[in-house]
Amino acid sequence: MESNRMNDLISNWLSLTHIITNIENTIEQHLQEKHALSLNEYYMLLFLSEAPMKKLRLQQLESMVGLSQSAMSRLVARFEAKGCGALARHACEEDRRSVYTALTAIGQEKVDKASFTFQNVLAETLPDKEMEGLLAELLKSKHKVKGIS
């Protein structure tokens, strides 16, 4: 019986991650086609646009985007190499070893346009009823495994 509960929990989790992966792939495809942005580049621009003074330390961006330090550095470097003028780097006044990555006006315009695409694709591809049912089943399976009624 316990094995069935655990299998249900795992099965529901895998179904949820499959849906999320498909949605992410669809969003990324549209971002690439319409804005020449990867999903991680979009997230980077979005988090910068929401930050105070539209700038963050690389270490802050790493945790927000979910990349390692080296992967985040490569992402920023590749994005800067595109030469679109969306980012600017600034030395930190308090700690010269730290560098801020800041969003420029060009970057803000780029993220605004991409956000419109992101929201539209998400609204079209997010399976409301399926997600609702799956999340309910996932939580029910979790409670069964933990012995909660």
pLDDT single digits (tens) 15-29: 889 989 999 999 999
How far apart are the C-alpha atoms of 133 and 131, rounded to whole Å? 5
pLDDT, tens only, 49-80: 999 999 998 889 999 999 998 999 899 988 88
Which range scores top for mean pLDDT: 71-80, 82-91, 124-133? 71-80
Mean pLDDT of 118-137: 85
How far apart are the C-alpha atoms of 122 and 145, rounded to whole Å? 32
How far apart are the C-alpha atoms of 101 and 58, rounded to whole Å? 7
Read off the DSSP letter of residue 87. E
What pTM did the predictor assign?
Answer: 0.83
| Cα radius of gyration (the chain) | 20
- Reported as a pLDDT band with limits 50, 70 and 90, residue 136 is confident
